[in-house]
Structure 1
Amino acid sequence: MKKIDSIENFEELVQGKDVFWLIKHSLTCPISANAFDEYKQYVGENKDIDTYYLAVQEARALSNYIAEKYQVKHESPQALLFKNNHIAWHASHGKITVASLQNAVNES
C-alpha cells in the first residue's frame, strides 16, 4: 500500500495500472480510521491488486480532482476501485469492509 498525494502521482497510476484500489481517508475522523483499518486488513490478505491511499487533509487538491474528473461525490472515507481509467466500484463510511472490498473485486 502506497501513499499518493499529488495529481501527477495519480495520473501516473491511471496511465500505468489497469486495476488498482485507492482509499481517501481523514486523519482525524474515527469512522475513517475504522474504514482504513478494514482496508489495511483487506490489503494484507489480498496482494493481487495494487493499493494506494491518500489523506484528505494532506491532498485536498487531489481528492477534489478525483471527485470532479470521475463525477463521484467526495466522501471521506471513500474506497475506489479503478479499472481501465474508470471507477468500477466505490463505497464510503461503514460500507468499507474487508468483505465489501473482496466482493467488489469478484463482481467487477
Structure 2
Amino acid sequence: MSQHYKEITSIEDWNAALEGSASRPLLVFKHSTTCPVSANAFSEFSNYLNSDAASADTDYVLVKVIESRPVSNQIAEDVSVKHESPQVILVKDKAKYWTASHWSITEAHMNAVMN
C-alpha cells in the first residue's frame, strides 16, 4: 500500500514530527531540488513509499534543504547528524536510529533497514 510524505517547511512542523517519533518511527528525507544525485535519491524514496514494504506505522517527511534551510539545520542539530543532501534519517524516540546519504539511498536499502 502506498504511503505519503508530508513536506515540512517550519521549525514548528519539525518539532511536531520529532515529538511524534516518541511513539512512531519517523523517516526524514532531506532533498536538494537542484542536485541530480538528490533527484535520483528522491526517486528511490518515492519507489519505497509506493512499495508494499512501506509501513503505515511510520511517519514520512520531506525537507527541501535550499528552500527550508533553517529546518534542515535544526534537524541536523536535534538528531546530531552532519547535514548532507540527499540524506535519509530514521528517527525513533527523538534520536537518530539510522542514516544514509547520496547513492546509498536506495529502495532496497530502505527496505532492509525499515523491515
Letter paired with 1:6: S
Which one is further off, 16-25 or 96-105?
Answer: 16-25
Measured on the aligned residues, the alpha-carbon RMSD in Å equals 1.1
Normalised by the size of structure 1, how large is the TM-score? 0.92
Aligned pair partner of 1:50 in 48, 59, 63: 59
Normalised by the size of structure 2, how large is the TM-score? 0.87
Separation in 2, partners of 1:7, 1:98: 28
Q: Which runs of 4+ in 1 moved over 3 A?
A: none
2:29 aligned with 1:14, yes or no?
no
* Structure 2 gap ranges (5+): none
What are the superposed Cα offsets for residues 15-67 of structure 1, whole Å, 9 maximum, x if unpaired? 12421111001001000000000001101111422211011111100111111
In the alignment of these two chains, the number of paired residues is: 106
Determine helix, strand or coil for the equivalent of 1:103: helix
1:19-98 matched pairs, under 5 angstroms: 19-45=25-51, 46-48=54-56, 49-98=58-107
Letter paired with 1:61: P
Letter paired with 1:69: D
Counting aligned pairs with the same residue, the percent is 42
Determine helix, strand or coil for the equivalent of 2:28: strand
More helix by share: 1
